[in-house]
Chain A
Amino acid sequence: GAVVSQHPSRVICKSGTSVKIECRSLDFQATTMFWYRQFPKQSLMLMATSNEGSKATYEQGVEKDKFLINHASLTLSTLTVTSAHPEDSSFYICSARGELGLAGGPDTQYFGPGTRLTVL
């Protein structure tokens, strides 16, 4: 149980284009989803928190107009990187936190496999 998928796993795009990344909880309802960014040999940096049906809460320094987050249902959240530039190249990881009763406790986050974005 508690499986989270991400699509695509890898994407290469040209500078100035927009890229959408999907995050799905496959076998549980995710009341909250999180989006992280990870640079090589570094830990995960939280970008934003999204709750189903409401606006995402962005961490300080994260441009909300550049990283658009939509959490349309209890199993799907999307991150759109708008007008991507080479400095946006990174590993983007989503996580989902489900309802009480899931193994791992109420604060446990289950992570997707990540999406590697390369902007040329």
Chain B
Amino acid sequence: QKEVEQDPGPLSVPEGAIVSLNCTYSNSAFQYFMWYRQYSRKGPELLMYTYSSGNKEDGRFTAQVDKSSKYISLFIRDSQPSDSATYLCAMVPGNTGKLIFGQGTTLQVKP
């Protein structure tokens, strides 16, 4: 079993839809959670980061962490075609500093 599980998709939604992207993890040592967006043939771009359980909002993006269930989510409101990309969740176990990535979910927002 992988430490971080993420459905690769692809996920296709119409423009304006609310998108929900999710990851589950098995290691309770994960303390720091991030979401990256990666466009084709580009490096990942940091979208959100959080330490604690709960919600964190930034514009159209909301990151949610539930440590008791070992489950994190990224919500995108009013999705746009420009949001079409691969979304990677990433986590840091303890003090290692290493990122453990999910497989990435490919999102397509259709105009």
Taking beta carbons and an 8 Å cutoff, which residues of A are in contact with B?
A: 4, 6, 32, 34, 41-44, 46, 49, 91, 93, 95, 97, 104-105, 107-114, 116
From A91, which residue of chain B is reached at the shortest CB distance? B41
> Given that A105-B32, A107-B92, A109-B99 are known contacts, is A43 also in contact with B49, CB under 8 Å in the complex?
no
A44 lies within 8 A of B92 (CB)? no
Q: Which of B32, B34, B98, B103 contacts A43 (CB 8 A)?
A: B103
A–B complex contacts, Cβ < 8 Å, 21 sampled: A4-B43, A6-B43, A32-B97, A34-B99, A42-B103, A43-B88, A43-B101, A43-B103, A44-B101, A46-B98, A93-B44, A104-B34, A105-B32, A105-B49, A107-B32, A107-B92, A111-B36, A111-B46, A112-B43, A113-B42, A114-B41
Taking beta carbons and an 8 Å cutoff, which residues of B are in contact with A?
A: 8, 32, 34, 36, 41-46, 49, 51, 88, 92, 97-99, 101-104
CA gap between A84 and B46 in the complex, in Å: 31
Secondary structure at the B interface, as helix, strand, loop or mixed, is: loop
How many whole Å from A116's CB to the nearest CB in chain B?
7
- Residues in B whose Cβ lies below 8 Å from that of A32: 97
CA gap between A41 and B41 in the complex, in Å: 11
B41 lies within 8 A of A116 (CB)? yes
In the A-B complex, the 4 residue pairs with the closest CB atoms: A111-B43, A43-B101, A107-B92, A113-B43
Q: Which of B41, B45, B51 has the most CB of A within 10 A?
A: B41
